[in-house]
Amino acid sequence: MDKRESLWEAYLAKGMSRRSFLKGCVTLTSLMGLSTDNLTKVVEAAETKPLPVVIWLHGHECTGCDESFIRSGAPLASDLVLNMIALEYSHVLSAGCGAPFEEHLEKTMEKYRGEYILAVEGGVAVGEHAYTCMSGGHAFEHTLKRVAADAKAVVAYGTCATSGGIQAAAPNPTDSRGIRSLIGAKPYIAVPGCPPIPEVMTGVLMHVALFGTLPPLDAEKRPKQFYGNRIHDTCYRRPFFDAGMFAERYDDAGAKAGWCLYHLGCRGPETYNSCGNLRWYQGMSYPIQSGAACIGCSNANFWDQAPFSRRLPEYSGIDIDTVGAGLAVATAVGVAAHAGASLVQKHYHEKQRAAHEGKEVHE
């Protein structure tokens, strides 16, 4: 097997400085959700670990995950593809096509058996419906199982790959599903979203590439550093939620004032993602910030929860309207109590100062 170069060797080959390399490592450390204490480990891995070989398969999907991926800002998708990984096969991003392209897939699988990372975008039509998604003369179900068999790890990009996607919406005529049940016991990472945040896509890939291990995962195999919090927990509109202040229409005064969108169907309280932290377009914005309620696109079967404008009936078994009203009253009581305590404290200090100056204070 040919020796593959490391990230540091790739920098050297392109005439880039050590300073640029270290700056890149700092960016990667932050991107992977790691503390700066891990920077030394990242640098060491980038100096010694060979660039990872990636095979990217496409099933039932719209290529929206690719569209998201190429908009990654840290690192740029171009830097990732050209400098940090060896992307050997991708229907959307590769220049090759046809029989030579499929032949290259076979050669890559043979050459890097047990070493390549398999990225999968799209759901899988199975059984008698497998013919509804074909590539290279084979059903996608067949190709997925064959390529996954010799992969080092499998990354499911997007809600189609993790849960079946819009193709699996009721009544699911093609019997589409997520890939997890079709790849055996292979190490698996779920990166849901429709599409996922681009920096999350690149961060997960680089973690596997540099450390050779999966990042910490939750019960649904999602990376904890990116799916450890609900959007509700990091939303800048959360104070309005706590105060019981909700927009009732997208054009009312509450909506214009930035109040909580829960009554308009926002799924933020039940959706785990990094939209409120990382945001989109290099941190520019995300749906809630632009005035649209979250539709929970990283949740399994979110497409069957339409209409998206219908509010959730309750949150964790609690009536939100009641809680909101109660919080508003409690807030008012708290403000009044604080004001009363402040007056008592002020009066006490006035008495102390007057006693010190030998004056009389009238009650």
pLDDT bin (cut points 50, 70, 90) of residue 329 is low
In the predicted model, is pLDDT for residue 317 greater than 90?
no
pLDDT bin (cut points 50, 70, 90) of residue 12 is confident
Indicate the pairing of strand 138-139 with strand 134-135: antiparallel
Percent of the chain residues topping a pLDDT of 70: 84
Element (H, E) at 146: helix 140-148
Cis status, amide bond into 171, omega within 30 of 0: yes
What's the whole-model pTM score?
0.78
In the predicted model, is pLDDT for residue 361 greater than 70?
no
Mean model confidence pLDDT for the chain: 84
Tokens 């690149």 correspond to what residue?
202
Instruction: Indicate the range of 220-224, 295-299, 334-338, 355-359 predicted with least confidence.
Output: 334-338
Q: How far apart are CA 139 and CA 132, in angstroms?
A: 8
In the predicted model, is pLDDT for residue 314 greater than 70?
no
Highest mean pLDDT among 33-47, 97-111, 205-219: 97-111
In the predicted model, is pLDDT for residue 328 greater than 50?
no
Which segments of the chain are extended strands (E)?
53-58, 86-90, 117-121, 124-125, 134-135, 138-139, 153-157, 176-177, 188-191
Mean pLDDT of 332-345: 48
pLDDT of 29-81, one tens digit each?
877 777 788 888 888 888 888 778 899 999 999 999 988 888 877 667 777 77
In the predicted model, is pLDDT for residue 337 greater than 80?
no
In the predicted model, is pLDDT for residue 141 greater than 90?
yes
In the predicted model, is pLDDT for residue 156 greater than 50?
yes
> DSSP string covering 147-211, please?
HHTT-SEEEEEHHHHHH-GGGGSTT-TT-EE-SGGGSTT--EEEE-SSS--HHHHHHHHHHHHHH
In the predicted model, is pLDDT for residue 240 greater than 90?
yes
Percent of the chain residues topping a pLDDT of 90: 48
pLDDT bin (cut points 50, 70, 90) of residue 342 is very low
Q: 92 or 354, which is more confident?
A: 92
Residue 240 CA to chain centroid, in angstroms? 25
pLDDT bin (cut points 50, 70, 90) of residue 85 is confident
Sign of CA dihedral 95, 98, 100, 105: positive
pLDDT of 157-200, one tens digit each?
999 999 999 999 999 999 999 999 999 999 999 999 999 998 89
Instruction: Indicate the range of 11-25, 130-144, 289-303 predicted with least confidence.
Output: 11-25
pLDDT of 254-269, one tens digit each?
999 999 999 999 999 9
Q: 118 or 25, which is more confident?
A: 118
In the predicted model, is pLDDT for residue 248 greater than 70?
yes
Q: Residue 90's beta-bridge partner residues?
A: 56
Burial 185-217 (b: 16+ CB within 10 A, else e): ebbbbbbbbbbbbbbbbbbbbbbbbbbeebbeb
Q: 349 or 307, which is more confident?
A: 307
